[in-house]
Protein backbone atom coordinates (compact mmCIF):
# COMPACT_ATOMS: atom_id res chain seq x y z
CA UNK A 1 0.00 0.00 0.00
CA UNK A 2 1.53 3.30 -1.04
CA UNK A 3 1.46 5.75 1.83
CA UNK A 4 0.20 8.82 -0.03
CA UNK A 5 -2.80 9.79 2.09
CA UNK A 6 -2.49 13.59 1.62
CA UNK A 7 1.02 13.55 3.13
CA UNK A 8 0.21 14.91 6.61
CA UNK A 9 2.71 17.47 7.82
CA UNK A 10 2.91 16.74 11.54
CA UNK A 11 4.99 13.79 12.77
CA UNK A 12 2.02 12.55 14.82
CA UNK A 13 -0.31 12.55 11.83
CA UNK A 14 2.37 10.83 9.77
CA UNK A 15 2.82 8.21 12.48
CA UNK A 16 -0.86 7.27 12.29
CA UNK A 17 -1.16 7.41 8.51
CA UNK A 18 -0.62 3.68 7.92
CA UNK A 19 -0.68 0.63 10.18
CA UNK A 20 2.93 -0.49 9.90
CA UNK A 21 4.18 2.74 11.46
CA UNK A 22 2.76 2.53 15.01
CA UNK A 23 2.52 -1.24 15.22
CA UNK A 24 5.98 -2.19 13.98
CA UNK A 25 7.61 0.37 16.26
CA UNK A 26 5.35 -0.63 19.17
CA UNK A 27 6.13 -4.31 18.60
CA UNK A 28 9.88 -3.68 18.58
CA UNK A 29 9.76 -1.65 21.79
CA UNK A 30 7.60 -4.31 23.44
CA UNK A 31 10.04 -7.04 22.34
CA UNK A 32 12.85 -5.14 24.07
CA UNK A 33 10.78 -4.54 27.22
CA UNK A 34 9.62 -8.15 27.49
CA UNK A 35 13.15 -9.52 27.18
CA UNK A 36 14.51 -7.04 29.72
CA UNK A 37 11.73 -7.88 32.20
CA UNK A 38 12.13 -11.61 31.57
CA UNK A 39 15.87 -11.50 32.28
CA UNK A 40 15.27 -9.37 35.38
CA UNK A 41 12.83 -11.98 36.68
CA UNK A 42 15.11 -14.87 35.76
CA UNK A 43 18.02 -13.39 37.70
CA UNK A 44 15.80 -12.33 40.65
CA UNK A 45 16.27 -8.61 40.07
CA UNK A 46 12.53 -7.89 40.30
CA UNK A 47 9.13 -9.54 40.61
CA UNK A 48 6.26 -8.49 38.37
CA UNK A 49 2.54 -8.35 39.31
CA UNK A 50 1.73 -10.61 36.38
CA UNK A 51 -0.53 -13.19 38.03
CA UNK A 52 1.13 -15.92 35.94
CA UNK A 53 4.23 -18.00 36.43
CA UNK A 54 7.16 -16.19 34.76
CA UNK A 55 7.60 -18.73 31.94
CA UNK A 56 3.94 -18.60 30.94
CA UNK A 57 3.95 -14.80 31.02
CA UNK A 58 7.13 -14.68 28.94
CA UNK A 59 5.62 -16.99 26.31
CA UNK A 60 2.33 -15.09 26.25
CA UNK A 61 3.98 -11.66 26.11
CA UNK A 62 5.93 -12.64 23.00
CA UNK A 63 3.39 -14.76 21.14
CA UNK A 64 0.16 -12.92 21.86
CA UNK A 65 1.67 -9.53 22.71
CA UNK A 66 4.55 -8.86 20.33
CA UNK A 67 3.34 -11.02 17.47
CA UNK A 68 -0.21 -9.68 17.54
CA UNK A 69 1.17 -6.16 16.98
CA UNK A 70 3.31 -7.30 14.04
CA UNK A 71 0.38 -9.17 12.51
CA UNK A 72 -1.80 -6.08 12.86
CA UNK A 73 0.85 -3.82 11.34
CA UNK A 74 1.34 -6.20 8.43
CA UNK A 75 -2.37 -6.70 7.71
CA UNK A 76 -3.30 -3.03 8.11
CA UNK A 77 -0.68 -2.26 5.46
CA UNK A 78 -1.10 -5.24 3.12
CA UNK A 79 -4.88 -5.71 3.07
CA UNK A 80 -5.55 -2.38 1.28
CA UNK A 81 -3.29 -3.71 -1.49
CA UNK A 82 -5.25 -6.97 -1.56
CA UNK A 83 -8.67 -5.31 -1.65
CA UNK A 84 -8.11 -1.91 -3.26
CA UNK A 85 -9.84 -0.25 -0.31
CA UNK A 86 -8.67 2.64 1.84
CA UNK A 87 -6.23 1.95 4.66
CA UNK A 88 -7.12 2.49 8.31
CA UNK A 89 -5.58 5.74 9.56
CA UNK A 90 -6.03 8.57 12.03
CA UNK A 91 -8.37 8.17 15.01
CA UNK A 92 -9.39 4.53 14.29
CA UNK A 93 -5.73 3.52 14.10
CA UNK A 94 -4.97 5.40 17.33
CA UNK A 95 -7.86 3.58 19.04
CA UNK A 96 -6.57 0.22 17.82
CA UNK A 97 -3.05 0.92 19.08
CA UNK A 98 -4.46 2.01 22.44
CA UNK A 99 -6.44 -1.23 22.64
CA UNK A 100 -3.26 -3.24 22.03
CA UNK A 101 -1.38 -1.27 24.68
CA UNK A 102 -4.16 -1.71 27.25
CA UNK A 103 -4.04 -5.46 26.68
CA UNK A 104 -0.30 -5.51 27.30
CA UNK A 105 -0.64 -3.38 30.42
CA UNK A 106 -3.49 -5.52 31.76
CA UNK A 107 -1.55 -8.79 31.43
CA UNK A 108 1.61 -7.20 32.84
CA UNK A 109 -0.28 -6.03 35.96
CA UNK A 110 -2.85 -8.85 36.09
CA UNK A 111 -2.60 -9.27 39.87
CA UNK A 112 -4.19 -5.83 40.34
CA UNK A 113 -7.33 -6.46 38.28
CA UNK A 114 -10.20 -8.96 38.02
CA UNK A 115 -9.25 -11.86 35.77
CA UNK A 116 -12.28 -11.27 33.54
CA UNK A 117 -11.17 -7.69 32.84
CA UNK A 118 -7.62 -8.77 32.00
CA UNK A 119 -8.85 -11.47 29.63
CA UNK A 120 -11.36 -9.15 27.96
CA UNK A 121 -8.80 -6.40 27.40
CA UNK A 122 -6.23 -8.82 26.01
CA UNK A 123 -8.64 -10.54 23.62
CA UNK A 124 -10.33 -7.32 22.47
CA UNK A 125 -7.43 -6.21 20.29
CA UNK A 126 -7.16 -9.34 18.17
CA UNK A 127 -10.95 -9.54 17.98
CA UNK A 128 -11.07 -5.98 16.62
CA UNK A 129 -8.38 -6.74 14.03
CA UNK A 130 -10.25 -9.89 13.02
CA UNK A 131 -13.56 -8.03 12.55
CA UNK A 132 -11.81 -5.36 10.48
CA UNK A 133 -10.02 -7.97 8.37
CA UNK A 134 -13.21 -9.91 7.65
CA UNK A 135 -15.05 -6.70 6.73
CA UNK A 136 -12.31 -5.64 4.32
CA UNK A 137 -12.01 -9.03 2.64
CA UNK A 138 -15.77 -9.35 2.17
CA UNK A 139 -16.15 -5.75 0.96
CA UNK A 140 -13.26 -6.20 -1.45
CA UNK A 141 -14.42 -9.70 -2.46
CA UNK A 142 -10.89 -10.89 -1.82
CA UNK A 143 -11.92 -14.49 -1.17
CA UNK A 144 -8.39 -15.83 -1.74
CA UNK A 145 -7.32 -14.42 1.61
CA UNK A 146 -10.13 -15.86 3.70
CA UNK A 147 -7.50 -18.37 4.82
CA UNK A 148 -5.82 -15.50 6.68
CA UNK A 149 -9.09 -14.89 8.55
CA UNK A 150 -9.17 -18.57 9.54
CA UNK A 151 -5.57 -18.51 10.79
CA UNK A 152 -6.13 -15.29 12.74
CA UNK A 153 -9.29 -16.74 14.28
CA UNK A 154 -7.31 -19.80 15.40
CA UNK A 155 -4.63 -17.50 16.83
CA UNK A 156 -7.25 -15.57 18.79
CA UNK A 157 -8.76 -18.86 19.97
CA UNK A 158 -5.36 -20.01 21.21
CA UNK A 159 -5.03 -16.83 23.26
CA UNK A 160 -8.46 -17.39 24.82
CA UNK A 161 -7.66 -21.01 25.69
CA UNK A 162 -4.32 -19.90 27.18
CA UNK A 163 -6.13 -17.50 29.51
CA UNK A 164 -8.67 -20.08 30.60
CA UNK A 165 -5.94 -22.62 31.28
CA UNK A 166 -4.04 -20.09 33.37
CA UNK A 167 -7.21 -19.07 35.23
CA UNK A 168 -7.80 -22.74 36.04
CA UNK A 169 -4.38 -23.06 37.65
CA UNK A 170 -2.78 -25.01 34.79
CA UNK A 171 0.79 -24.47 33.60
CA UNK A 172 -0.20 -22.54 30.49
CA UNK A 173 3.34 -22.57 29.04
CA UNK A 174 2.81 -26.25 28.24
CA UNK A 175 -0.90 -26.06 27.52
CA UNK A 176 -2.85 -26.50 24.32
CA UNK A 177 -3.64 -22.77 24.12
CA UNK A 178 -0.01 -21.88 23.54
CA UNK A 179 0.36 -24.71 21.02
CA UNK A 180 -2.70 -23.47 19.13
CA UNK A 181 -1.22 -19.98 19.01
CA UNK A 182 2.18 -21.23 17.87
CA UNK A 183 0.64 -23.49 15.24
CA UNK A 184 -1.58 -20.73 13.82
CA UNK A 185 1.33 -18.29 13.73
CA UNK A 186 3.74 -20.74 12.09
CA UNK A 187 1.07 -21.59 9.51
CA UNK A 188 0.82 -17.86 8.75
CA UNK A 189 4.55 -17.83 8.10
CA UNK A 190 4.25 -20.95 5.94
CA UNK A 191 1.33 -19.55 3.90
CA UNK A 192 2.14 -15.84 3.68
CA UNK A 193 5.90 -16.38 3.80
CA UNK A 194 5.43 -18.96 1.07
CA UNK A 195 4.11 -16.16 -1.11
CA UNK A 196 6.42 -13.28 -0.27
CA UNK A 197 9.79 -15.06 0.08
CA UNK A 198 9.86 -16.45 -3.48
CA UNK A 199 8.20 -13.30 -4.86
CA UNK A 200 10.75 -10.92 -3.33
CA UNK A 201 13.54 -13.31 -4.28
CA UNK A 202 12.32 -13.39 -7.87
CA UNK A 203 12.15 -9.59 -8.01
CA UNK A 204 15.72 -9.26 -6.79
CA UNK A 205 17.10 -11.98 -9.07
CA UNK A 206 15.38 -10.49 -12.12
CA UNK A 207 17.07 -7.16 -11.37
CA UNK A 208 20.41 -8.99 -11.20
CA UNK A 209 19.76 -10.63 -14.56
CA UNK A 210 19.78 -14.14 -13.11
CA UNK A 211 18.69 -16.97 -15.37
CA UNK A 212 17.71 -19.06 -12.33
CA UNK A 213 14.49 -18.04 -10.58
CA UNK A 214 12.38 -19.49 -7.74
CA UNK A 215 9.88 -22.22 -8.53
CA UNK A 216 6.30 -21.02 -9.19
CA UNK A 217 4.44 -20.02 -6.02
CA UNK A 218 1.79 -22.40 -4.65
CA UNK A 219 2.56 -25.16 -7.13
CA UNK A 220 1.45 -28.71 -6.34
CA UNK A 221 4.47 -29.40 -4.16
CA UNK A 222 3.78 -26.32 -2.04
CA UNK A 223 0.24 -27.49 -1.37
CA UNK A 224 1.46 -30.94 -0.34
CA UNK A 225 4.02 -29.39 2.03
CA UNK A 226 1.39 -27.10 3.59
CA UNK A 227 -1.10 -29.94 4.05
CA UNK A 228 1.62 -32.07 5.65
CA UNK A 229 2.46 -29.26 8.07
CA UNK A 230 -1.22 -28.74 8.89
CA UNK A 231 -1.70 -32.46 9.58
CA UNK A 232 1.42 -32.54 11.76
CA UNK A 233 0.25 -29.55 13.76
CA UNK A 234 -3.23 -30.96 14.32
CA UNK A 235 -1.67 -34.16 15.61
CA UNK A 236 0.75 -32.17 17.80
CA UNK A 237 -2.11 -30.15 19.22
CA UNK A 238 -4.16 -33.20 20.12
CA UNK A 239 -1.34 -35.54 21.21
CA UNK A 240 1.94 -33.66 21.68
CA UNK A 241 3.82 -36.69 23.03
CA UNK A 242 2.56 -39.24 20.48
CA UNK A 243 5.22 -40.82 18.28
CA UNK A 244 3.00 -40.37 15.22
CA UNK A 245 2.95 -36.62 15.91
CA UNK A 246 6.74 -36.66 15.99
CA UNK A 247 6.92 -38.57 12.73
CA UNK A 248 4.49 -36.21 11.00
CA UNK A 249 6.48 -33.20 12.16
CA UNK A 250 9.71 -34.71 10.84
CA UNK A 251 8.03 -35.41 7.50
CA UNK A 252 6.65 -31.87 7.33
CA UNK A 253 10.06 -30.48 8.21
CA UNK A 254 11.72 -32.38 5.38
CA UNK A 255 9.08 -31.22 2.88
CA UNK A 256 9.47 -27.58 3.90
CA UNK A 257 13.24 -27.79 3.65
CA UNK A 258 12.74 -28.96 0.08
CA UNK A 259 10.21 -26.19 -0.47
CA UNK A 260 12.69 -23.60 0.74
CA UNK A 261 15.38 -25.07 -1.49
CA UNK A 262 13.19 -24.41 -4.55
CA UNK A 263 13.32 -20.64 -3.94
CA UNK A 264 16.95 -20.03 -5.04
CA UNK A 265 17.96 -18.40 -1.78
CA UNK A 266 21.60 -19.37 -2.31
CA UNK A 267 21.76 -16.85 -5.16
CA UNK A 268 20.78 -13.90 -2.95
CA UNK A 269 23.75 -13.80 -0.57
CA UNK A 270 24.74 -10.34 -1.82
CA UNK A 271 21.58 -8.76 -0.35
CA UNK A 272 20.88 -9.45 3.36
CA UNK A 273 17.38 -7.97 2.99
CA UNK A 274 16.50 -11.03 0.89
CA UNK A 275 18.72 -13.57 2.65
CA UNK A 276 17.03 -12.93 6.01
CA UNK A 277 13.66 -13.93 4.53
CA UNK A 278 15.10 -17.33 3.65
CA UNK A 279 16.72 -17.68 7.07
CA UNK A 280 13.45 -16.78 8.78
CA UNK A 281 11.54 -19.34 6.75
CA UNK A 282 14.24 -21.95 7.39
CA UNK A 283 13.21 -22.04 11.04
CA UNK A 284 9.80 -23.42 10.02
CA UNK A 285 11.26 -26.77 8.90
CA UNK A 286 14.07 -26.68 11.47
CA UNK A 287 11.53 -26.20 14.25
CA UNK A 288 9.32 -28.98 12.92
CA UNK A 289 12.29 -31.34 12.66
CA UNK A 290 13.61 -30.50 16.14
CA UNK A 291 10.21 -30.76 17.85
CA UNK A 292 9.43 -33.98 16.01
CA UNK A 293 12.78 -35.52 16.89
CA UNK A 294 12.30 -34.41 20.50
CA UNK A 295 9.00 -36.29 20.64
CA UNK A 296 10.78 -39.35 19.26
CA UNK A 297 13.42 -39.10 22.00
CA UNK A 298 16.17 -37.22 20.20
CA UNK A 299 16.84 -33.83 21.74
CA UNK A 300 15.03 -31.36 23.97
CA UNK A 301 11.51 -30.72 22.69
CA UNK A 302 10.98 -27.63 24.88
CA UNK A 303 14.16 -26.03 23.57
CA UNK A 304 13.21 -27.00 20.03
CA UNK A 305 9.97 -25.03 20.37
CA UNK A 306 12.07 -21.84 20.47
CA UNK A 307 13.17 -22.55 16.90
CA UNK A 308 9.56 -21.83 15.97
CA UNK A 309 8.85 -19.03 18.43
CA UNK A 310 12.08 -17.03 18.38
CA UNK A 311 13.22 -18.37 15.01
CA UNK A 312 10.35 -18.70 12.54
CA UNK A 313 8.28 -15.99 14.26
CA UNK A 314 11.01 -13.69 15.58
CA UNK A 315 13.37 -13.73 12.59
CA UNK A 316 10.67 -13.68 9.92
CA UNK A 317 8.77 -10.83 11.53
CA UNK A 318 11.93 -8.74 11.89
CA UNK A 319 12.71 -9.47 8.24
CA UNK A 320 9.25 -8.31 7.17
CA UNK A 321 9.32 -5.27 9.47
CA UNK A 322 12.60 -3.99 8.02
CA UNK A 323 11.64 -4.60 4.40
CA UNK A 324 8.12 -3.21 4.71
CA UNK A 325 9.34 -0.15 6.61
CA UNK A 326 11.82 0.65 3.84
CA UNK A 327 9.41 -0.03 1.00
CA UNK A 328 6.40 1.78 2.43
CA UNK A 329 8.47 4.80 3.44
CA UNK A 330 9.77 5.22 -0.10
CA UNK A 331 13.33 4.10 0.58
CA UNK A 332 15.55 1.80 -1.45
CA UNK A 333 15.28 -1.90 -0.64
CA UNK A 334 18.93 -2.16 0.33
CA UNK A 335 20.24 -3.17 3.75
CA UNK A 336 22.57 -0.75 5.52
CA UNK A 337 25.20 -1.84 8.10
CA UNK A 338 22.80 -1.36 11.03
CA UNK A 339 20.26 -3.65 9.39
CA UNK A 340 22.92 -6.32 8.87
CA UNK A 341 23.84 -6.07 12.56
CA UNK A 342 20.25 -6.50 13.74
CA UNK A 343 19.82 -9.49 11.42
CA UNK A 344 22.97 -11.09 12.81
CA UNK A 345 21.85 -10.35 16.36
CA UNK A 346 18.43 -11.99 16.01
CA UNK A 347 19.87 -15.14 14.41
CA UNK A 348 22.54 -15.38 17.13
CA UNK A 349 19.84 -14.91 19.77
CA UNK A 350 17.80 -17.81 18.41
CA UNK A 351 20.78 -20.17 18.19
CA UNK A 352 21.92 -19.36 21.73
CA UNK A 353 18.40 -19.75 23.10
CA UNK A 354 18.17 -23.20 21.54
CA UNK A 355 21.60 -24.09 22.93
CA UNK A 356 20.51 -22.96 26.41
CA UNK A 357 17.84 -25.64 26.46
CA UNK A 358 20.32 -28.31 25.42
CA UNK A 359 23.26 -27.24 27.58
CA UNK A 360 21.93 -26.86 31.14
CA UNK A 361 25.39 -26.33 32.65
CA UNK A 362 25.72 -23.05 30.72
CA UNK A 363 22.04 -22.13 30.66
CA UNK A 364 22.36 -18.92 32.67
CA UNK A 365 25.05 -17.29 30.55
CA UNK A 366 23.43 -18.49 27.32
CA UNK A 367 20.09 -17.00 28.35
CA UNK A 368 21.77 -13.71 29.21
CA UNK A 369 23.74 -13.42 25.97
CA UNK A 370 20.77 -14.57 23.90
CA UNK A 371 18.59 -11.98 25.59
CA UNK A 372 21.18 -9.26 25.02
CA UNK A 373 21.36 -10.15 21.32
CA UNK A 374 17.56 -10.02 21.15
CA UNK A 375 17.56 -6.53 22.69
CA UNK A 376 20.23 -5.41 20.21
CA UNK A 377 18.12 -6.70 17.31
CA UNK A 378 14.82 -5.09 18.24
CA UNK A 379 16.34 -2.08 19.95
CA UNK A 380 18.42 -1.55 16.83
CA UNK A 381 15.28 -1.68 14.71
CA UNK A 382 13.52 0.87 16.92
CA UNK A 383 16.49 3.25 16.86
CA UNK A 384 17.34 2.87 13.18
CA UNK A 385 13.84 2.62 11.70
CA UNK A 386 11.83 4.58 14.26
CA UNK A 387 12.48 7.94 12.61
CA UNK A 388 11.00 6.62 9.35
CA UNK A 389 7.68 6.11 11.11
CA UNK A 390 7.11 9.83 11.72
CA UNK A 391 8.42 11.17 8.42
CA UNK A 392 6.83 11.45 4.96
CA UNK A 393 7.88 9.01 2.27
CA UNK A 394 11.46 9.69 1.19
CA UNK A 395 10.42 9.74 -2.47
CA UNK A 396 7.74 12.38 -1.85
CA UNK A 397 9.21 14.60 0.88
273 versus 396: the higher-pLDDT residue is: 273
Q: What is the mean pLDDT of the chain?
A: 94
Would you place residue 6 in the very low, low, confident or very high pLDDT band (cuts 50, 70, 90)?
A: very low
Average pLDDT over residues 260-268: 96
| SS3 at position 62 | helix
4 versus 138: the higher-pLDDT residue is: 138
pLDDT at 341: 98
The pLDDT tens digits of the residues spanning 83-120 come to 999 999 999 999 999 999 999 999 999 999 999 999 99
Average pLDDT over residues 115-143: 96
The pLDDT tens digits of the residues spanning 359-381 come to 989 999 999 999 999 999 999 99
Would you place residue 397 in the very low, low, confident or very high pLDDT band (cuts 50, 70, 90)?
A: low
Spell out the alpha helix ranges (H) of the chain. Answer: 11-15, 20-42, 54-60, 67-83, 91-108, 115-139, 146-167, 176-207, 220-238, 243-261, 272-295, 301-306, 316-328, 337-358, 363-385
Residue 7 in this model has a pLDDT that exceeds 80? no
Q: Domain residues of the chain, as ranges?
A: 10-174, 207-390
Contact 63, 188 (CB under 8 A): no
Q: What is the pTM of this model?
A: 0.94
pLDDT at 2: 45
Region of residue 300 (left: phi > 0; alpha: psi -120 to 50; beta: else): beta
Average pLDDT over residues 29-55: 91
Amino acid sequence: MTDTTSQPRSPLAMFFSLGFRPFFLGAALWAVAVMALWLAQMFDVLALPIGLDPVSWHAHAFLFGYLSAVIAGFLLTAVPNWTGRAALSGAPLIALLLLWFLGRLAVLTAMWWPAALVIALDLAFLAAVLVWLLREIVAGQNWRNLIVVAMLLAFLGGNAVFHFEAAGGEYAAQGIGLRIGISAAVMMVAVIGGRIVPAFTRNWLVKQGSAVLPAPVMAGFDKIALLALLAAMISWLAMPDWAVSGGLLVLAGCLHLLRLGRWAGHLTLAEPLVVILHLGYAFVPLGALAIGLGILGFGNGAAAQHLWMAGALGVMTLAVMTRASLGHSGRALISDPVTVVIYAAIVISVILRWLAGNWPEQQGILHAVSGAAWVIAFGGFALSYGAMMIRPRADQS
